[in-house]
Structure 1
Amino acid sequence: MLPTSLFPLICFGGCAEVPPPELPLVYVDRDDFTVTASCRLVLDTSSSMLEDINLDGLIRVVGHNIEVDASQLVLQGDGGIGVRILSDGVRWHGGSLKGFSIGVQTSGSDVKLTNFKSQSCETGVRITGERFSGSNLHCTDGIVGLEAIGSNGGRLEHSIVSRMGQSGLHLDQTNEWKIHANEFQSIYGDPQAAAIKLSRSGRDHSIRGNILTQTEYGISVDTGDVNLGREMAQDAKNRGLTWPPPEEEIALFKGKGFQDILFTENTIRNHRGEAFWMRGVSGLRLFGNQCLGPGPGLTLQFVEDFQFSQNLTQSTRPHAMLIQDCGVNRMNASQFTGDRQGLVVTNPTNVDQWPPWAWAHLRRAECSVTDCTYEGFEVALNIGDGQGAVRLGGNQFASCDRSLQTTGSADVSVASGDPEVTVPEELDTAKPTPEWPNENAWLVRNGKPWNESDPILRLGTVAPGFVQFIPEGSTEDPEFIFEGEAELVVNPNQDRITVRAVEKDRFERWRLKADGQDFSGVLTRGWWKGFMWEYEADPVNEYEQWRSEADSGWIFQCREPDLDFGRNAPGELAGIFPVIRDAGLPRDGFGLVCETERWVPAGKWVLRVEANDGVRVQMDGNTVIDAWERPTQSIFTHEFHLQEESVRRFFVQWYERTGLAYLRVTITPQSE
Structure 2
Amino acid sequence: MLPRIVFLLSFGMQPQTLPTVTVTQDDTVIRQSCRIVIPPGTVIEDANGDGVIQIAASDIVVEFAEGSLLRGSKPGTPPDQYRGYGVRVVGQKNVTLRRARLSGFWCGLWATNAAGLVLESCDGSDNRRQRLGSTPAAEDGGDWLWPHNNDENEWLKNYGAAFYVEDSEGVTVRGCRVRRGQNGLVLDCCNEAKVYDNDLSFNSGWGVALWRSSRNVISRNAIDFCVRGYSHGVYNRGQDSAGILMFEQCCQNVIAENSVTHGGDGFFGFAGREALGETGAHPAEWYKRRGNNDNLLMKNDFSYAPAHGIEMTFSFGNCFIHNRLVGNAICGVWGGYSQDTLVAGNDMAENGEMGYGLERGGVNIEHGRNNRIVQNTLGKNKCGVHLWGGPTGQFAERAWAKANGTDSTQNLIAGNTIEGNDLAFHFRGPGEVTLGYNQVRDGGREIEADKEHTVRRDESITGADFRSPDYPVFGQARPLGARKHLAGRENILMTEWGPWDHESPLVRLVETAGSSHAYELHGMPGEVTARVTGDDVAGRWDGAVSNGRGRYVVAARAGGVHPYVFEVFANGFSQRLTGTLLTAAWDATFFKWTQDVDPREKLEGWRVLARGDSAHSIGLDQLALKYGHRGPSELKLSDALAQARLGGDHFGMIARTKLPLTRGRWEFVTLSDDGVRVTVDGKPVIENWTWHGPTRDTGVLELSEDRTVEILVEHFEIDGYAVLELNVRRAD
Give the TM-score range, shorter chain.
0.5 to 0.7
For residues 448 and 403 of structure 1, do their structure 2 counterparts lie closer, same or farther at Cα, with a shift above 3 Å needed?
same
State how far apart, in whole Å, the 2-side matches of 1:409 and 1:500 are.
Answer: 59
State how far apart, in whole Å, the 2-side matches of 1:96 and 1:197 are.
Answer: 24
For residues 14 and 140 of structure 1, do their structure 2 counterparts lie closer, same or farther at Cα, with a shift above 3 Å needed?
closer
Structure 1 equivalent of residue 343 of structure 2: 308
Q: CA deviation at 1:641?
A: 2.3
Match of 1:376 among 417, 420, 423: 420
Q: CA deviation at 1:339?
A: 4.2
CA contact (8 A) 1:5 1:23 kept: no
Structure 1 equivalent of residue 248 of structure 2: 200
CA contact (8 A) 1:605 1:667 kept: no
Deviation string 1:206-249 (CA, Å, 9 cap, x unpaired) is 111111122221000023455423589xxxxxxxxxxxx9xx85
Task: Map 1:59-458 to 2 at 5 A.
Answer: 59-72=53-66, 74-77=68-71, 78=73, 79-86=83-90, 87-107=92-112, 108-122=114-128, 123-128=161-166, 129-190=168-229, 191-225=239-273, 227-229=275-277, 250-254=284-288, 256-295=290-329, 296-317=331-352, 318-350=360-392, 353-354=395-396, 355-362=398-405, 364-366=407-409, 367-384=411-428, 386-415=429-458, 436-437=487-488, 439=490, 441-449=492-500, 453=504, 456-457=507-508
State how far apart, in whole Å, the 2-side matches of 1:213 and 1:402 are.
Answer: 30
State how far apart, in whole Å, the 1-side matches of 2:184 and 2:494 are.
Answer: 18
Structure 2 equivalent of residue 29 of structure 1: 31
CA contact (8 A) 1:320 1:338 kept: no
CA contact (8 A) 2:395 2:401 kept: no
Structure 2 equivalent of residue 50 of structure 1: 44
State how far apart, in whole Å, the 1-side matches of 2:371 and 2:536 are.
Answer: 54
Q: CA deviation at 1:274?
A: 0.6
Structure 2 gaps of 5+ residues are: 10-15, 74-82, 129-160, 230-238, 353-359, 463-484, 543-549, 559-564, 567-574, 587-615, 632-639, 658-718, 726-732
**CA RMSD for the aligned pairs?**
4.8
CA contact (8 A) 1:13 1:41 kept: no
State how far apart, in whole Å, the 1-side matches of 2:624 and 2:64 are.
Answer: 61
Deviation string 1:71-126 (CA, Å, 9 cap, x unpaired) is 53622322421222221111222222222221222221111111111220232111
Deviation string 1:433-464 (CA, Å, 9 cap, x unpaired) is x995564641323245468557641548x999
State how far apart, in whole Å, the 2-side matches of 1:489 and 1:438 are.
Answer: 34
CA contact (8 A) 1:80 1:102 kept: yes
Structure 1 equivalent of residue 649 of structure 2: 638
State how far apart, in whole Å, the 1-side matches of 2:262 and 2:624 are.
Answer: 37
TM-score normalized with structure 1 length: 0.64
For residues 489 and 398 of structure 1, do their structure 2 counterparts lie closer, same or farther at Cα, with a shift above 3 Å needed?
farther
SS at 2:402 equivalent = helix
State how far apart, in whole Å, the 2-side matches of 1:336 and 1:394 are.
Answer: 14
State how far apart, in whole Å, the 2-side matches of 1:400 and 1:178 are.
Answer: 39
Structure 1 gaps of 5+ residues are: 7-11, 233-244, 420-433, 482-486, 504-511, 526-595, 610-617, 626-636, 647-665
CA contact (8 A) 2:536 2:557 kept: no
Q: CA deviation at 1:127?
A: 0.4
CA contact (8 A) 1:445 1:516 kept: no
Q: CA deviation at 1:349?
A: 2.9
TM-score normalized with structure 2 length: 0.59
For residues 435 and 85 of structure 1, do their structure 2 counterparts lie closer, same or farther at Cα, with a shift above 3 Å needed?
closer
SS at 2:434 equivalent = strand
Q: Greater CA radius of gyration, 1 or 2? A: 1
Identical aligned residues as a percent:
17
Letter in 1 for 2:269: V
State how far apart, in whole Å, the 1-side matches of 2:578 and 2:288 are.
Answer: 44
State how far apart, in whole Å, the 2-side matches of 1:290 and 1:438 are.
Answer: 15
State how far apart, in whole Å, the 1-side matches of 2:373 and 2:264 are.
Answer: 26
State how far apart, in whole Å, the 2-side matches of 1:23 and 1:387 are.
Answer: 63
CA contact (8 A) 2:59 2:93 kept: yes
For residues 524 and 135 of structure 1, do their structure 2 counterparts lie closer, same or farther at Cα, with a shift above 3 Å needed?
farther
State how far apart, in whole Å, the 1-side matches of 2:37 and 2:100 are.
Answer: 10
- Count of residues in correspondence between the two structures: 506
For residues 623 and 417 of structure 1, do their structure 2 counterparts lie closer, same or farther at Cα, with a shift above 3 Å needed?
farther
CA contact (8 A) 2:349 2:381 kept: no
Q: CA deviation at 1:22?
A: 5.3
State how far apart, in whole Å, the 1-side matches of 2:219 and 2:225 are.
Answer: 19
CA contact (8 A) 2:299 2:323 kept: yes
State how far apart, in whole Å, the 2-side matches of 1:280 and 1:517 are.
Answer: 47
